[in-house]
Amino acid sequence: MTIVEKILQRINRPELLPILSEELTPSELNSLLLEVFRRQTGRLSPAELLQQYQKNRFVKPADTDFMALHALETRLLQIFETFRFKAVELSPVAPLGCCSVVATADQQKILSALRGTEVLADATNALALHVADLKKSGQWKPVSATDQLRFSAIQRHVRTPKVAIPGHTQHFKIGCLVSSGRDTGSFEFERESMAEHLAVMTALLRDALQVDALRFKFIRRSGNADGRLLEQVKNHILQLRNDLVIETETTPSRENQYYKGLQYKILITVRGQEYEIGDGGFVDWTQQLLQNKKERFLITGLGVEMLFRLMA
Amino acid sequence: MNRGRVIYEDEAEPNFRLAYPSAALAAFVAYYFEVNQSATLANPLYLNALPNLSNLLCISLNPQSWLSINQKTGTVNAVKGSRLLGNLTDLHTSIYPAGVHEFYVKFRPGMLGQLVGFRTGEVENANVDLAAFIRLTELEERMQAAAVFSERVRLMEAILVKPVLEIPIDYRQKVVQIALQKFDRNAFNPNQPLRAICRELGVSYPSLHRYFNETLGYSPKYCQKIIRFKNALQLYKRHGSRYPFEDIGYTDFSHFVKDARQLTQRLPSEL
């Protein structure tokens, strides 16, 4: 029996959940919950508020040196912008379902909020919405078929699963790159956009932060018509640059429906220890949002806070 | 691994154009050059700039930023717009993504400082907005309007000739410039130590040291060392480690490698 079922059984209101989730409109549910929270907070004393603060694992400040982390973020954003990934400061909240509607993400892992929102759990999903909005509203129109939209962001993310690894926290800074374009045949978008993301990560990690070693791992994922994507992208990048280390995993041990066709991981060595500092790949989110199979979207996520701790 | 490379003046490069100044400006300007990077974002151009004594004027012809990374301190500068670039004491790697188009004037050591009003040592490793020193809008517009590199060179010469020729060059600066020429490969004779150069110039070493400090902010020995290293690296790139490095003032190849590590924190093969 789930926690929700136990609660409904205790209050003897088994019909409550279908009423709230199915019979009420989102707006009505929001109004109802706002009133519930207003009453609850009305009963809360300052002493109880402090107790809540001390108990709640989501609300404590980050234990990083803010100024130093901010300086690192500025360096990262400068590099992103130099490679024409326009920096965007996203809202701390996204529309409810921002991640779970288009991606294989469980809504339970996201801090759902009121007024049709959720606390930002993945900036790449929010950037996908931003891109889709720009395209659908006509605010961005490509001049040529191969034009791309490129955005970057560094945002604090909140995720609900309790962290088990020492040093990990419920909220953390992630740096993101996204590229959006259209399929023009021969995997042109995929080849060029992935080469650009790797060029940015190389300039950042190898050249600016001077990590001991940097390598990328390409992992074949399902969702691509003929499976040639990985080889096409890898060969293109290695033709352009012979200074990148790219390894491939064509028969991955674990299935992953999140990425379509190709996932990649960013691995760095710092003081003799290798760390997976980022990952990315192609996703179909803009295809779903814009209802257009020709849409292509590449995302990269970089653990900025982890990087900061490693480079300290 | 691609960690950038040093490009020398006589190397043919598709992304570079270079022109020497007219005789009137030759004492002040080493040369003009242009970076016009047409590669894609995925394949940026990596260049290394060695420690040097030159100050550069950089006129932006296209609003695309590039990265300058101090390889000793790790400082990253996203460079955008027209700049005054100071002489370098550390190795800097420049990363140019697609679209960078810039025109540079490389001044002889100390000369840009004379023109604008600073000592070379005061702007070491600096990368500052050129608008802080000169009225820029008109200059940028005129340079951007010029269709080709040769036209931009002519335009820059016409702009520079009057103020540059008004720069008062005193005895100390002349001695420093001649000494720098002697340090350079063509004039440099490893059997001619600094004492001999001083004798030839008719100054004592303490006087030469003072002249260098007053005009450049560095000692003659330091200047000789970085000029020798630049020339030796070029010879290493052409001839490899078997080149007789003792011919250009080093004890042996190991001495050259030691200088590379000290000046750039890298091996010669990584430059």
**Interface mutation vs chain A, best among B67, B79, B269, most A CBs within 10 Å:** B67
Q: Search chain B and give the residue with CA nearest A194.
A: B42
- Residue B190 pLDDT grade (very low, low, confident, very high; cuts 50, 70, 90): low
Q: What gap in Å lies between CA B97 and CA A103, rounded to an integer?
A: 33
Q: Which residues of B touch A237 (CB under 8 A)?
A: 42
Q: What is the pLDDT of residue B112?
A: 86
Taking a contact as any Cβ pair under 8 Å apart, which residues of chain A between 22 and 81 contact chain B?
Answer: 75, 78-79, 81
Q: What gap in Å lies between CA A253 and CA A246, rounded to an integer?
A: 18
Q: Is A203 on the interface with B (CB under 8 A)?
A: yes
Q: What is the pLDDT of residue B2?
A: 61
Burial class (CB in 10 A: 0-12, 13-18, 19+), A241: middle
Here the tokens at position A277 are 């500092």
Test A83 with B97 for CB contact under 8 angstroms.
Answer: yes
- Which carries the bigger pLDDT value, residue B32 or residue B14? B32
Measured in angstroms, the CA of B65 and the nearest CA of chain A are apart by: 5
Q: Which residues of B touch A84 (CB under 8 A)?
A: 41, 97
Q: Which residues of A touch B44 (CB under 8 A)?
A: 83, 199, 203
- Residue B74 pLDDT grade (very low, low, confident, very high; cuts 50, 70, 90): confident
Q: What gap in Å lies between CA B185 and CA A21, rounded to an integer?
A: 82
In whole angstroms, how far apart are CA B87 and each of A67, B32, B42, B140, B224? 30, 16, 30, 22, 15
Q: Is B69 on the interface with A (CB under 8 A)?
A: yes
Measured in angstroms, the CA of B43 and the nearest CA of chain A are apart by: 6
Q: How far is CA B268 from the centre of its chain?
A: 18
Q: Which residues of A touch B1 (CB under 8 A)?
A: 243
**Average pLDDT value for residue range B188-216:** 83
Q: What are the b/e assignments for A138-165, b being 16+ CB within 10 Å?
A: eeeeeeeeeebbbbbbbbebbbbeeeee
Q: Which fold has domain A66-311?
A: BirA Bifunctional Protein; domain 2 (3.30.930)
Here the tokens at position A176 are 């993101």
Q: How many CB pairs under 8 A join A and B?
A: 62
Q: Is the separation of the CB atoms in B97 and B66 below 8 Å?
A: yes
Q: Is B41 on the interface with A (CB under 8 A)?
A: yes
Q: Which residues of A touch B42 (CB under 8 A)?
A: 192, 195-196, 198-199, 237, 240-241
Q: Is B40 on the interface with A (CB under 8 A)?
A: yes
Could you tell me where in chain B the CATH 2.60.120 domains are found?
A: 16-165
Q: Which residues of B touch A241 (CB under 8 A)?
A: 2, 42-43
- Which carries the bigger pLDDT value, residue A268 or residue B136? A268
**Average pLDDT value for residue range B61-90:** 89
Q: Is B95 on the interface with A (CB under 8 A)?
A: yes
Q: What is the pLDDT of residue B259?
A: 92
Domain B16-165 matching CATH 3.40.50: the answer reads no
- Which carries the bigger pLDDT value, residue A300 or residue B184? A300
Q: Is B1 on the interface with A (CB under 8 A)?
A: yes
Provide the residue ranges of all domains of chain A, joining segments of one domain with +: 3-55, 66-311
Q: What is the pLDDT of residue A83?
A: 94
Test B42 with A198 for CB contact under 8 angstroms.
Answer: yes
Test B76 with A241 for CB contact under 8 angstroms.
Answer: no
Q: Is A196 on the interface with B (CB under 8 A)?
A: yes
In this prediction the ipTM stands at 0.79
Q: What is the pLDDT of residue A225?
A: 61
Q: What is the pLDDT of residue A127?
A: 97
- Residue B216 pLDDT grade (very low, low, confident, very high; cuts 50, 70, 90): confident
Q: Which residues of A touch B266 (CB under 8 A)?
A: none
Q: Is the pLDDT of residue B188 over 60?
A: no
Q: What is the pLDDT of residue B5?
A: 84
Q: What is the pLDDT of residue A141?
A: 87
Q: What gap in Å lies between CA B17 and CA B7, rounded to an integer?
A: 12
Burial class (CB in 10 A: 0-12, 13-18, 19+), B202: exposed
Q: Is B90 on the interface with A (CB under 8 A)?
A: no
- For chain A, residues with pLDDT lower than 50 are none
Q: Which of A75, A203, A209 is nearest residue B95 as measured by Cβ atoms?
A: A203
- CATH code of the region B171-270: 1.10.10.60
Q: What is the pLDDT of residue A213?
A: 94
In whole angstroms, how far apart are CA B6 and each of B93, B224, B264? 9, 19, 12
Q: Is B147 on the interface with A (CB under 8 A)?
A: no
**Interface mutation vs chain A, best among B3, B60, B66, B95, most A CBs within 10 Å:** B95
Mean pLDDT for all residues in chain B:
86
Q: Is the separation of the CB atoms in B110 and B217 below 8 Å?
A: no
